[in-house]
Copies of this chain bind each other. A is one copy, B any other.
Amino acid sequence: MESSLSRLVRLLSAGFSNQAQAFDNPPLFAHILVKFRPLPQLEPGSLLLEQTYAITPSVPYRIRVLRPERREGGLIIHNQALHEEQRFWGAVDDGERRSLIQSSDLRPLEGCTYVVQELGDGFVGEVEPGCRCLVERKGATAYLVSSFELDQAGMRTVDRGHDPTTHEQLWGAQAGAFAFERTHDYSHEIPPTWLEHFAD
């Protein structure tokens, strides 16, 4: 039977688009593309994440290397930024540049690990408690409150920024969760050695 960790990595290894939501609700939702793609040269489970506006698919507003793993009977997802990230913009669609990403390029984002639960045939996750996942937007620091739901059909995400002192919401979900449908399947790019590793 497939392990939970293996299933999480498989469900994540995909491309997603909220085009239907954007076009059903003009102009409330930006049209967003999200892709997660295995990086076989890195630790098992490592996935390059790029999020872009659909209008500028080669200019990600967020690029990360995520790495799901087991932790105390459950699952977490490590969240890592990239040093000089512009070097890797667009690598999610460019295998050659993707292969250049090394572990020395990664910078762990402290406090930004996702804690993941199984739910039905999918998963739900949210940033670990502690208000320590700090992000800057136009000069103001906020802590990130971020959650997702992932299943075979797609993904829903909510991101909000809160003031570290007053905990007031500074920015976030205009009109509710972003609702993504699957557009690409990259699960065949998961190396067999990872699957053996996940089965342990």
Q: Could you tell me if B27 and A171 are in contact, using CB atoms closer than 8 angstroms?
A: no
**Which of the candidate stretches A47-55, A87-95, A111-119, A188-196 sits at the interface with the other chain?**
A47-55
A interface residues, how many (CB within 8 angstroms): 25
Q: Could you tell me if B31 and A53 are in contact, using CB atoms closer than 8 angstroms?
A: yes
Least CB distance, A171 to chain B, in whole angstroms: 6
Least CB distance, A56 to chain B, in whole angstroms: 8
**Which of the candidate stretches A4-12, A71-79, A147-155, A172-180 sits at the interface with the other chain?**
A172-180
Decide if A32 is an interface residue (CB 8 Å cutoff): yes
Interface of A is mostly: loop
Number of copies of this chain in the oligomer? 2
**Which of the candidate stretches A18-26, A37-45, A98-106 sits at the interface with the other chain?**
A18-26
CB-CB under 8 A from A31, the residues of chain B are 30, 53, 55
CB-CB under 8 A from A53, the residues of chain B are 22-23, 26-27, 31, 55
Q: Could you tell me if B24 and A30 are in contact, using CB atoms closer than 8 angstroms?
A: no
CB < 8 Å: which of B22, B172, B173 contacts A30? B22
* CA of A150 to CA of B29, assembled, Å: 23
* CA of A186 to CA of B138, assembled, Å: 32
* CA of A171 to CA of B28, assembled, Å: 8
Residues of chain A whose beta carbon lies under 8 Å from any beta carbon of chain B: 22-32, 51, 53-55, 61-62, 137-138, 171-175, 178
